[in-house]
């Protein structure tokens, strides 16, 4: 819901989406003047032949095995970024291709920072808008439909030596190109399809209800919500359906674009705190907290007005018309709960914090961490410690 006369919106990434999108890759590499890319992926994607699919679309003589790093871990780390950056320099590469999910994409963003800024220690660039140099050409081929990292200006990288999680936020981190091809995500099983879809749903909901929303971010978030409402459950029932898969891929990237511009809110603040304090999955924490964060927001007129639009997106015009004005916001939250319950029935996704390993004796530490999260500032109202505690209790 647009609430300010002034806003900023930035999304320079070129998006190529749909069946056969990979067939454009050689043209795009030429356009970006990339002849020797460093390719990042992991062992699982190699074993599932996803890497082979990518390589089959590249010029046969353009890639040697040294240009491919198949050992990117499930969390981006300072150490792997440093090693991969050295490989990039040793081979005199001229671009980066990230094939995979958020950890691989964040690793690629870290490499781009190190190479472009010519620093020896990536930690020196942690924070907001610390990058100023021209970046290396950067292409992302996502293999999940969740975070929208392929269009986001953030990267989260672990510093294992100090046991700290470093966040990098810069418009320079946004890739030049995102190639969204359904053949790259067909291998996702129902449980992971549901989890990544809910992640995109959370991004879209928070993007639409944050205090920094604007007409452009609203347009992307609303379109993403509409696609999620029409396709997520159907895709989980038939994970090889190309129509639903492409729709969810598009929803994820649109939610990511919106989320990068209008930013997160209380759901992400509490979810990130649960992840850091209890060591739980980011996606699981957000899916559990989503309805409880939305119920909390119902007390604010600003959010209730936005939730009416979410009802249209998820349930359609007829449901919106037949629902009384005073009830539309609540019914919108119930629509989200209905999606989560159906996905729970289909795949067993968690619905309580207790299920995913959060303990009640960790609540105080989670509250402390959440209160220091910048996303709290983007939430409606002035969030208090008891507000977060109440959300945790309701979700437990």
> What's the CATH code of the domain at 235?
1.20.1090.10
160 and 209 assigned to the same domain: no
- Residue 231 sits in the same domain as residue 114: no
Question: HSE (CB half, 13 Å, CA atoms) of 291?
Answer: 21
Using the 3D structure, point to which of 168, 184, 200 is the last residue of a domain: 184
Strand bridging mode 177-180 / 138-142: parallel
Classify residue 134 by its DSSP letter: P
Flag whether 8 is in a domain.
no
Is residue 6 in some structural domain? no
Using one digit for the tens of pLDDT, what is the confidence trace for 70-114? 999 988 999 999 999 999 999 999 999 999 988 999 999 999 999
Q: Are residues 232 and 301 part of one domain? A: yes
Task: State residue 281's pLDDT score.
Answer: 85
Is there a single domain that holds both residue 133 and residue 257? Answer: no
- List, for residues 171-213, the tens digit of each pLDDT value: 999 999 999 988 887 778 899 899 889 989 999 999 998 888 9
Q: What integer is the mean pLDDT of 29-51?
A: 93
| Domain-located, residue 231 | yes
CATH number of the CATH domain containing 81:
3.40.50.1970
- 3 state SS for 234-251: HHHHCCCCHHHHHHHHHH
Q: Which of 67-71, 197-201, 375-379 has the lowest mean pLDDT?
A: 375-379
> Does residue 138 share a domain with residue 67?
yes
Distance in angstroms (rounded) separating the CA atoms of residues 379 and 72: 34
Mean pLDDT of the chain: 91
Same-domain check for residues 231 and 86: no
pLDDT of 41 reads 96
Any residues with CB less than 8 A from the CB of 92 and at least 6 apart, and which?
36
Residue 148 tokens read as 């929208």
3 state SS of 271: helix
Q: Give yes or no: residues 96 and 164 share one domain.
A: yes
Could you tell me if 280 and 164 lie in one domain?
no
Same domain for 141 and 237, yes or no, is no
pLDDT at 2: 45
How far apart (Å, rounded) are the C-alpha atoms in residues 167 and 371? Answer: 17
Range of the structural domain that residue 166 is part of: 14-184
């Amino acid at each position: 819901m647009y609430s300010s006369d002034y806003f900023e919106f930035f999304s320079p990434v070129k998006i190529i989406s749909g069946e056969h999108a990979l067939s454009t890759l050689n043209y795009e590499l030429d356009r970006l003047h990339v002849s020797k890319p460093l390719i990042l992926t992991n062992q699982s994607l190699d074993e599932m032949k996803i890497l082979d699919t990518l390589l089959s679309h590249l010029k046969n003589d353009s890639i040697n095995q040294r240009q491919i790093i198949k050992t990117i871990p499930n969390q981006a780390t300072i150490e792997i970024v440093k090693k991969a950056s050295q490989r990039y320099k040793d081979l005199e590469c001229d671009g980066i291709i990230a094939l995979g999910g958020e950890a691989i994409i964040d690793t690629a963003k870290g490499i781009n920072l190190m190479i472009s800024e010519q620093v020896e220690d990536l930690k020196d660039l942690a924070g907001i808008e610390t990058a100023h140099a021209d970046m290396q050409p950067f292409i992302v081929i996502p293999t999940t439909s969740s975070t929208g990292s392929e269009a986001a200006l953030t990267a989260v990288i672990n510093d294992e030596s100090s046991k700290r999680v470093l966040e990098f936020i810069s418009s320079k981190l946004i890739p030049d190109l995102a190639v969204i091809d359904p053949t790259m995500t067909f291998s996702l099983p129902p449980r992971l399809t549901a989890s990544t879809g809910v992640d995109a749903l959370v991004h879209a909901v928070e993007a639409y209800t944050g205090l920094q929303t604007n007409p452009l971010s609203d347009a992307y978030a609303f379109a993403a919500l509409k696609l999620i409402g029409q396709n997520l459950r159907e895709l989980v029932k038939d994970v090889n359906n190309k129509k639903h898969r492409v729709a969810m891929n598009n929803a994820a990237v649109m939610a990511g674009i919106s989320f990068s511009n209008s930013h997160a809110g209380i759901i992400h603040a509490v979810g990130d705190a649960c992840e850091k304090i209890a060591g739980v999955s980011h996606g699981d924490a957000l899916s559990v907290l989503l309805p409880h964060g939305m119920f909390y927001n119902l007390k604010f007129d600003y959010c209730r007005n936005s939730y009416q639009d979410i009802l249209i997106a998820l349930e359609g015009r007829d449901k919106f018309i037949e629902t009384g004005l005073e009830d539309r916001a609540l019914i919108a939250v119930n629509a989200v709960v209905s999606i989560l319950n159906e996905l729970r029935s289909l795949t067993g996704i968690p619905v309580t914090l207790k299920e995913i390993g959060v303990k009640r004796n960790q609540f105080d530490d989670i509250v402390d961490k959440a209160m220091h999260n910048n996303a709290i500032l983007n939430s409606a109202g002035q969030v208090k410690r008891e507000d977060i505690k109440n959300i945790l209790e309701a979700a437990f």
